[in-house]
Chain A
Amino acid sequence: MASILKTALTPVKWASKQLLNRTLLRFPGGDAHDPVACAFCPEMCRFACPSTVATGNDTVTPRGMMSLLYKEKRWPGKAAAGGELWPLYGCTGCGRCTEYCIYGMPVAEKLFKARREHRWRGAQTALDTRVTEEMDSVGDLAAEWGELEVAKARRDRTLEKAGSAGVVRVREPKELHYLRSEGIEAELDWEPGLFRWDVAAQAAARERLSGKRWLVAESVWLSRRLNHAADVDHFCGVLERLGVSTVRPYHRGKDCIDTGGEGAYRYLFPEAAAVMARDFWERDRDKADGVIAFSDRAAAHLREALGAEVPVVEASRLAGLRLAEGSEE
């Protein structure tokens, strides 16, 4: 009798589960990337957020920031009561929260997009000042705003080149990310993950770096924007073949920690960015004598935060070592 009952109830149970999955156990509208998913989440991603860990401020946790989008969508203007939604700028863009979110919520992409709609006067001032100071960074910083003339011009030029091909081919990983976040199909013009050596300069690089242990500041921008095709292990391998002693950071790979030097965050929240850089160094300082960073801005930021006592070198300035197409020599 029991087994007959069990057999009879099986389709009922199946139907009930199907009904639940289609109604209650899905977000309204079926979009798992709607900000409502963050607003009521216990926030399992917060331990991974560099902004949260550096500031301790719950307003700039992934959930804190995404909740603002939910509130603003449902009750426009009520959360800030006429003020500015400045926490939307509290994200470094590292994407580590997305790595840990069961729904893969693209927090950085959503916040960066929302910034175009919710301007923060304080941010504008900070970035405008820096724009004049670091002209070579204009393009990257401008890309985050989406409306500054240089970014628009670059985008327009890129789209012109694409023409009717449909897919835009670009050289810079950041540009790839930016275009994709705009919904434009794009791909890298080269095979990511390969490093090209300038053979003639290897000796100079070896001389510069030998005798010290170098902590590799794996860049969240590098590994994520290259879809993890290149990471700290790859880069350390390249340097080690050169005879350079490298230290893999405590936080690496999926847990790669933002040092706060990339993008606008460093200018908008300088104290927090400095804490990120110092926290990064503190964790592994016993193992290393200096730091290798992946970009000019990250290197400059680390030098400023760590002081003259900690040598910092920038990877692509290492005598010809740079990301490029082709194979290793």
Chain B
Amino acid sequence: MPSQSDKISTNTLPTGLGEGTGWSRDRLVLQTYSHDLWPRKLLELRERGPAEPTVDLVVWPETPSQVQALVRWADTADVDLIPYGAGSGVCGATIPSGSMPRPRVMVDLKRLKRVRSLDRESMTVWAEAGIIGENLERHLNQEGLTLGHFPSSIYCSSLGGYLATRSAGQLSTKYGKIEDMVLALETVLPNGELVITGRAPRSAMGPDWTQLLLGSEGTLGVFTAACLQVHPLPEHREFLGFGTADVNQAMAFTRTLMQQGIRPAVMRIYDKIETSLTIPSERLGTGFSGGCAIVTVFEGTQAMAAVEASEARRIADSMEVSYLGPTLGTHWWEHRYDVSYKQQLILSHDRLMLDTFEIAATWDRLSHVYEAVKGVNLGFGVMLAHFSHFYHTGANIYFTLASHSGLKASTVEHYDQVWESILGAAMEAGATLSHHHGVGVQKSAWLPKEKGAFIQIYEKVKRGFDPQNRFNPGKMGL
């Protein structure tokens, strides 16, 4: 019986996409593209070994017009398309849904990797969706500029992925999240049309199409490029560390900073457990007496960074928050990506699970959300927490969970149970269930619970964009 992969007539693929370089259905290629970095899939690999591929063809277009041609081809070939960046998502957004009856074609955008143009007057850059974040940042740095977007996955994630998931970076409190950086999206719609969503920093000419498409996780179109605002590289950085007795005092302090209009590039509260397990005591200094560590970094012109840092210290003094000096901040800065390498230490051990959970809530609920999620029973495990993205009206909490599956038959089963519990606890406490990782497969069933009636409206929007439901079907709660 022919496989789904065999059903695809590759000789009808658009011109310029040759076998091996432009497309492949080699088994090892299909296996690679059958998962992203969703920890559940890694646990499945560890427990069950290499699985059968769930993708039937991978294509690598090199230009927006090739993407357009592919989209039109998908209609005639009757296949589904899943846009793919660097596969660094942690929620399974690129993993084909089980309910896809048509052959599944992964459209890997990484060959669209150019920085097209730089406009120093408007301080914008047009960059293609397949460019890896670090390569874009280095290109800008060579020009004395920065995007200001530093997700901890910057070395292994793509611009298209940022756009598809509404990503956030470590310096977001100053530079904003991806939605704050995008002026326009260049997108191939499911009808094959190439559109650009904007032309000005703001417009009242109807709804904001950029914001509708951002975070749609490949269900409404394929991003081919984006126009982003850029900044001059900062002249100066100030690193300040603070200590508080507990998270409540830390939240009060950071809330005050934000509501007074101070905008640190980096602000991170580490709860007691994360402080004691992840921060070397010599970095905390003698002024730290246990409790929570707070890292802040102010950057910009010499004067601005100094004024904001000075104001932060003044507020800290007035709230009896200990100032720990610059060492904590400089240590964090030098090792800010190291934590990403730690996951394989835990995951290399059988029976252990590791994952992260990022939520956001308004200030009035934040403490309750923190306690509710921390109160979830992980079995034999530990849950760390830090707060890393701040707003005038609230903040994000980033939980790290590591747990042993104990006597359960499978770690995957244990993983599912833990996730059911923490999602339920966070929802009950009033948080949104994703701040920046996105929905994917992991939270797809929870999206209707959080968004209620809007899911039915989204279904209509999806049908309007994609009447044949070819684009990453089965996602976003649909």
Q: Which of B108, B156, B276 contacts A56 (CB 8 A)?
A: B108
Would you call B50 and A53 a contact (CB within 8 A)? no
Given the known inter-chain contacts A46-B156, A47-B156, please indicate yes or no for A59 contacting B29, CB distance below 8 A: yes
B367 CB within 8 Å of chain A: no
Of A17, A20, A41, A55, most B-chain CB atoms within 10 Å: A41
The answer to whether A102 touches B344, judged by C-beta atoms less than 8 angstroms apart, is no
Establish whether residues B27 and A37, one from each chain, have CB atoms under 8 Å apart when the complex forms.
no
Closest Cβ–Cβ distance, residue B190 to chain A (whole Å): 23
Q: How far is the CA of A43 from the CA of B21 in the complex (A)?
A: 22
- Nearest A residue (CB) for B341: A102
Q: Which residues from chain B contact A46 at a C-beta distance below 8 Å?
A: 86, 132, 155-156
**Are B28's CB and A87's CB within 8 A?**
yes
Contacts of B346 in A (CB 8 A): 24-25
Question: Quick one: closest B residue to A32, CB to CB?
Answer: B345
Q: Decide yes or no: A75 and B50 within 8 Å by CB, A47-B132, A58-B108, A86-B28 being known contacts.
A: yes
A72-92 interface (Cβ within 8 A of B): 74-75, 78-81, 83, 85-87
Cβ contacts under 8 Å, B344 to chain A: 27, 36-41
Binds A, one of B31-39, B315-323, B455-463, B469-477: B31-39
* B28, A56: Cβ atoms closer than 8 Å: no
Report A7-33 CB contacts with B as 1/0, cut-off 8 Å.
000000100010010001111100000
A271 at the A/B interface (Cβ < 8 Å)? Answer: yes
As a 0/1 sequence over residues 223 to 259 of chain B, the CB contacts with chain A under 8 angstroms (1 = contact) are 0000000000000000000000000000000000000
Residues of chain B in range 146-173 having any CB-CB distance to chain A below 8 Å: 153, 155-156
* Cα-based distance from A38 to B135 in the complex (angstroms): 21
Say whether B60 faces chain A, with CB atoms less than 8 Å apart. yes
Q: Does B121 belong to the interface (CB within 8 Å)?
A: no
Interface members, chain A 282-306 (any B CB < 8 Å): none
A250 at the interface (CB under 8 A from B): yes
User: CB-nearest residue of chain B relative to A255?
Assistant: B138
Pick from B64-72, B199-207, B347-355, B405-413 the stretch touching chain A. Answer: B347-355
Interface bracket on A: 35 or more
Partner of B276, one of A13, A38, A71, A250: A13
Minimum CB–CB distance for A185 against chain B, Å: 31
Q: Is B419 among interface residues, defined by CB-CB distance under 8 A? A: no
Instruction: State A34–B348 Cα separation when bound (angstroms).
Output: 10
CB distance from A260 to the nearest CB of B (A): 14
Interface residues on chain B, size class: 35 or more
The answer to whether B108 and A42 have CB atoms under 8 Å apart is no
- Is A64 on the interface with B (CB-CB < 8 A)? yes
CB nearest to B46 among chain A residues: A40
CB pair A58–B33 under 8 Å, yes or no, is yes
Q: Kindly state the separation between the CA atoms of A185 and B58 in the bound complex, as whole angstroms.
A: 44
Residues A53 and B135 in contact, CB atoms below 8 Å apart: yes
Whether the Cβ atoms of B345 and A25 lie closer than 8 Å is yes
Cβ of B345: which chain A residues have Cβ within 8 Å of it? 24-27
A79→B49 CA distance, assembly (Å): 8
Complex Cα–Cα for A28 and B344 (A): 11
Residue in chain A with minimal CB distance to B20: A271
Q: Say yes or no: is B340 at the interface (Cβ < 8 Å to chain A).
A: yes
Nearest 3 pairs of A and B residues by beta carbon: A56-B110, A40-B344, A40-B347
Q: Which residues of A contact B (CB under 8 A)?
A: 2, 6, 13, 17, 20, 24-28, 34, 36-48, 53, 55-59, 64, 68, 71, 74-75, 78-81, 83, 85-87, 100, 102-103, 250, 271-272
